[in-house]
Amino acid sequence: EAQVTQNPRYLITVTGKKLTVTCSQNMNHEYMSWYRQDPGLGLRQIYYSMNVEVTDKGDVPEGYKVSRKEKRNFPLILESPSPNQTSLYFCASSTTGYNEQFFGPGTRLTVL
Amino acid sequence: AQSVSQHNHHVILSEAASLELGCNYSYGGTVNLFWYVQYPGQHLQLLLKYFSGDPLVKGIKGFEAEFIKSKFSFNLRKPSVQWSDTAEYFCAVFTGGGNKLTFGTGTQLKVEL
């Protein structure tokens, strides 16, 4: 089944404790992206990747890191999480950036 | 920077009523336009998309949208909504120059029986 998977689905952590949210797709997509969803703000792009080893900032990259060492994986790293990073995070992939994006199930992160 | 505006933040309709959700974007060049839907507790799914050609595009579940270039708009419509259409709807715009997708803030639609 073609899908985008994210882990963990739910995470409660404390300020400053490094964490990684994994994202994997099995559709051989070139383009992958991370978004955060906050009430009243919609989805805002954090980082995107056009291909392996090619990443670029989205609209809200501060406090986040990404890497794209393999085509299928695109982890999101929070080196020192803060409470304002409490949000619902979605990973997405597509053949190219301008095509339909396929979204993962989301990761709900709470930073205390 | 490109931006996407969805003017209706919350919409409440009765079943069988007609729906129109507004979406306007600010970018003068070529755009690809999307409407995504997020049902309660689920991830986003594509409703429909416009790349080029006929400005009236049809999507899944009876939804359609019209691209009006002169108005920078891509409004979503459905002639008769159902209770199962209760969801949040997002307009999104991709501009090639930036290689990124910009979403509107979303419209919460509640359909009452």
Tally Cβ neighbours within 10 Å of residue A80: 12
CB contact under 8 A, B104 and A90: no
List the single residue in B with minimal CA-CA distance to A100: B46
Which tens digit of pLDDT belongs to each residue from B17-38?
999 999 999 887 888 999 999 9
A26: pLDDT strictly greater than 80 = yes
Q: Which of A40, A97, A99 sits opposite B100 (nearest CB)?
A: A97
Phi, psi angles (nearest 5°) of residue B18? -90, 150
CB contact under 8 A, A43 and B44: yes
B107: pLDDT strictly greater than 80 = yes
Residues on B contacting A at a C-beta cutoff of 8 Å: 6, 9, 32, 34, 42-46, 49, 51, 90, 92, 94, 96, 99-106
CB contact under 8 A, A48 and B100: yes
CB contact under 8 A, B43 and A35: no
Q: Report how far residue B33's alpha carbon sits from residue B47's, in angstroms, rounded to the nearest whole number.
A: 11
Q: Report how far residue A32's alpha carbon sits from residue A46's, in angstroms, rounded to the nearest whole number.
A: 11
Type of residue at B60: I
pLDDT value of residue B34: 96
A88: pLDDT strictly greater than 90 = yes
For chain B, where are the E strands, in sequence order?
3-5, 10-14, 19-21, 24-26, 31-38, 45-50, 56-58, 64-68, 73-78, 87-95, 100-103, 107-112
Which tens digit of pLDDT belongs to each residue from B37-77?
999 988 899 999 999 999 999 999 999 999 999 999 999 99
Which tens digit of pLDDT belongs to each residue from A40-78?
898 999 999 999 989 999 989 999 999 999 999 999 999
List the single residue in A with minimal CA-CA distance to B89: A42
CB contact under 8 A, A97 and B94: yes
B97: pLDDT strictly greater than 70 = no
Q: Indicate the burial class of B22 (C-beta count within 10 angstroms; 0-12, 13-18, 19 or more).
A: middle
User: Which of chain B's residues have a Cβ under 8 Å away from the Cβ of A9?
Assistant: none
Q: Which residues contact A89 (CB under 8 A, 6 or more apart)?
A: A6, A21, A34, A35, A36, A37, A46, A76, A106, A107, A108, A109
Q: How confident is the model at residue B98 (pLDDT cuts 50, 70, 90)?
A: low
Q: How confident is the model at residue A99 (pLDDT cuts 50, 70, 90)?
A: confident
Percent of residues, chain A, with pLDDT higher than 70:
100
CB contact under 8 A, A101 and B90: no
Phi, psi angles (nearest 5°) of residue B83? -55, -35
Q: Mean pLDDT across the stretch A78-106? A: 93
Q: How confident is the model at residue B8 (pLDDT cuts 50, 70, 90)?
A: confident
pLDDT value of residue B2: 75
More confident site: A85 or B97? A85
**B90 CA: distance to closest CA in chain A (Å):** 8
pLDDT value of residue A111: 97
Q: Report how far residue B99's alpha carbon sits from residue B94's, in angstroms, rounded to the nearest whole number.
A: 7
Per the CB < 8 A criterion, the answer to whether B58 and B46 are in contact is no
| 3-state SS, residue B80 | coil
